[in-house]
Structure 1
Amino acid sequence: MARPADYDANFPFPILVGDIGGTNARFSLLLDAFAEPKQFPIVQTADFANIDQALQQCILDKSSVQPRSAILALAGPIEGDEVPLTNCPWIVRPRDMIANLGFEDVLLVNDFEAQALAVASLDEANREKIGPGTERQTASRAVLGPGTGLGVAGLVYARHSWIPVPGEGGHIDVGPRSERDYHIWPFLEPIEGRISAEQLLCGRGIMNIYRAVCAADGVDAPLQKPSDVSARALAQDDRAAIETIALFSTYLGRVAGDMAMIFMAKGGVFLAGGISQKILPALRGPEFRAGFEDKAPHGALLKTIPTYVVTHPVAALAGLAAFARMPDRFGVATEGRRWKR
């Protein structure tokens, strides 16, 4: 479809970019196309009633520069003028932001679109390769991110542009495969009668697996936080915790392999999100790649696809900044997601 004659893909600087998840919100300010982004302290979403309050108190009141544009990545689907976040009570209202906070131009994208934008140009210093496979430079890619929830996105290259493909792939069904899976599956907590990938591959998913492992073995489950489980597993001093993170790695590998096949991601599958970085020593073990490659009749294909852990501390913001500088390099859909004064 042809764009209107007055269409302008560019955003007026300064541009505020933000990555808003269920627990944390991260922001940086881009003064112009050449400046390094100015990073702001991480915002805890639970500390503020809404995003407007957080922006006013943590960004606008702390900076002498008034941003003219905002490009925000949100954990949830973008539909309509009021966008609720999936794992956070905030509702984002771009028209109110323009009316009350002084923005001229607001674009909302899915949070894993931002992660996909980032992996278009991650260098070796900001990713760690796990297992075999060779990256094909302009082949499709996939991104998964276990954190407060499980985000999934694709990235395809066409017409000399990287095009992010957002979706809700974290909510696909998953089922038991191994004998051990069948032992623990009856003890997993479902949502509305089913086990989705997000019920296993996020912070609460770690606890779901841990409690199921303990229940299947008839032992107490004293650990109360995902960070406790992962820490005890990495320290190799708690049998249930060790098995939990091994199973988490296996299940993450299986879902990552599914996404690799869906997107034919010969450019690589990238693990983003905070949990991937925190359990990186476990992901280096055999379980993740074994789950990833166990895709008969296409196991040989999966062995050729590389997998990476994204180690960039604010990858989503880096992806948004790259888009803000050169929007024509990316095929980001803006219809119905961009508001102007």
Structure 2
Amino acid sequence: MPAMQADTKALPFPVLIGDIGGTNARFSLVHDDQAAAGEPQIVKTADFATIDEAIRVAVLERSPVRPKSAVLAVAGPVESDEIRLTNCPWVVRPKAMFSSLGLSDIVVLNDFEAQALAVVALGEEHMEKIGGDAPEPNAGRVVLGPGTGLGVAGLVHAFGGWVPVPGEGGHMDIGPRTPRDYQVFPHIEPLEGRVSGEQILSGRGLVNVYRAIAIADGKAALLSQPAEITAAALDGGDAMAAEALETFATCLGRTAGDLAMVFMSRGGVFLTGGIAQKILPALRKDNFRAAFEDKAPHGELLRAMPVYVITHPLAALEGLAAYARTPSLFGVETDGRRWQT
């Protein structure tokens, strides 16, 4: 059987790039292979019935430049000509976009592939290191980020380039470990009978943990939004919120450590997305790194692995822009994920 070849054929410029999550969609234009991404346009997915409508309003009606192609990163698996997002009612139909948006070449990636591309595209000035030794050049890396869901992707170096490995690792099971966990976890809202990573490590997951702590302690859950819980935890004004955020950080450390072993991430583990940036003070505390390293019999291996929080607010767009400019630098397999007229 012949080896699969990554598609390095250049996209026609200008290129529309888009990072579409469950809550927000971010768009920009890359004018040529030397240009940075243009001014981003950010919209709420709930404000538009379709992605096509969002692109028309956010991009086409605002710019005299008409894109010829697009690279879109979506929060969900790319498996057919109709791509349904996991946490959003939008359906991406690339073939229909040829006529509706005037595009001639469309690549659709998983949203955390874009985050993995960003790890290569961004400099260290856009990252904050949390423990570990120096990264090994060209060693495996992993990217994860809690948001509307929990995104996960790997990144491996092969054949002279970086190959993003998409997946749905945010849906792995996660369970209790400490005596306190066994008091709280029975009250975490399950999804079809199980507790996956997303049921804890996401915006709604933080609310789930906070409510579970309240039930376990027989107290009222007075807060209902992730931002409220995070703010109350960080300013020390609410003990239950503080415990919820500490539990969140500990579980994120455990999950990051699990994924670090899966990908043998001596090149680093990268936390991305708005939640990771907002809870940086909690991630700097000892419990996060201790949970990451507590992987007997491989604790020494984990202690050496560096963890970074990506602080760039639009990291995925930077990754997509890098791919649009120079697809030959990345081993992105586009079979079944690229549509051309």
Superposition TM-score, scaled by structure 2 size: 0.98
Find the counterpart in structure 2 of residue 82 from structure 1.
82
SS of corresponding position for 1:211: helix
SS of corresponding position for 2:175: coil
SS of corresponding position for 1:19: strand
After TM superposition, list the pairs within 5 Å mapping 1:250-265 onto structure 2.
250-265=250-265
- Determine the C-alpha separation between the residues in 1 that align with 2:73 and 2:316: 8
SS of corresponding position for 1:38: coil
**Residues 16 and 69 in structure 2, CA contact (< 8 A), matched pair in contact too:** yes
Report whether the alignment pairs 1:25 with 2:25. yes
Q: CA deviation at 1:131?
A: 1.5
Deviation string, structure 1 residues 227-284 (Cα, Å, up to 9, x no partner): 0000000001100000000000000000000000000000000000110001011100
Q: CA deviation at 1:133?
A: 2.2
Find the counterpart in structure 2 of residue 110 from structure 1.
110
**Residues 136 and 267 in structure 1, CA contact (< 8 A), matched pair in contact too:** yes
Find the counterpart in structure 1 of residue 124 from structure 2.
124
Deviation string, structure 1 residues 191-230 (Cα, Å, up to 9, x no partner): 0110000110000000000000111111100001000000
Find the counterpart in structure 2 of residue 282 from structure 1.
282
Structure 1 unmatched ranges of 5 or more: none
Q: CA deviation at 1:303?
A: 0.1
- Determine the C-alpha separation between the residues in 1 that align with 2:174 and 2:63: 46
Find the counterpart in structure 2 of residue 97 from structure 1.
97
Deviation string, structure 1 residues 52-88 (Cα, Å, up to 9, x no partner): 1111111111110000010000000001100000000
Deviation string, structure 1 residues 274-296 (Cα, Å, up to 9, x no partner): 10001011100111101100001
- Determine the C-alpha separation between the residues in 1 that align with 2:321 and 2:152: 20
Q: CA deviation at 1:8?
A: 6.2
- Determine the C-alpha separation between the residues in 1 that align with 2:275 and 2:79: 28
The residue type paired with residue 312 of structure 1 is H
- Determine the C-alpha separation between the residues in 1 that align with 2:271 and 2:131: 13
SS of corresponding position for 2:296: coil
After TM superposition, list the pairs within 5 Å mapping 1:72-221 onto structure 2.
72-221=72-221
Q: Cα RMSD between the aligned structures?
A: 1.2
**Residues 20 and 75 in structure 1, CA contact (< 8 A), matched pair in contact too:** yes
- Share of identical aligned residues, percent? 59
Structure with larger RCO (C-alpha < 8 A, sep 6+): 2
Structure 2 unmatched ranges of 5 or more: none
Number of residue pairs the alignment of both structures matches: 339
Deviation string, structure 1 residues 121-159 (Cα, Å, up to 9, x no partner): 321210000122221120000000100000000000011
The residue type paired with residue 195 of structure 1 is V
- Determine the C-alpha separation between the residues in 1 that align with 2:170 and 2:130: 21
Report whether the alignment pairs 1:46 with 2:60. no
Find the counterpart in structure 1 of residue 310 from structure 2.
310
**Residues 133 and 307 in structure 1, CA contact (< 8 A), matched pair in contact too:** no
Report whether the alignment pairs 1:292 with 2:292. yes
- Determine the C-alpha separation between the residues in 1 that align with 2:68 and 2:218: 58
Do the aligned partners of residues 132 and 8 (structure 1) sit closer, same or farther apart at CA in structure 2, a change above 3 Å counting? closer
**Residues 148 and 203 in structure 1, CA contact (< 8 A), matched pair in contact too:** yes
**Residues 130 and 307 in structure 1, CA contact (< 8 A), matched pair in contact too:** yes
SS of corresponding position for 1:63: coil
**Residues 40 and 59 in structure 1, CA contact (< 8 A), matched pair in contact too:** no
Q: CA deviation at 1:313?
A: 1.1
Find the counterpart in structure 1 of residue 9 from structure 2.
9
SS of corresponding position for 1:120: helix
SS of corresponding position for 2:121: coil
Q: CA deviation at 1:3?
A: 8.0
Q: CA deviation at 1:186?
A: 1.1
Deviation string, structure 1 residues 138-186 (Cα, Å, up to 9, x no partner): 0000000100000000000011010000000000011110011001011
Find the counterpart in structure 2 of residue 67 from structure 1.
67
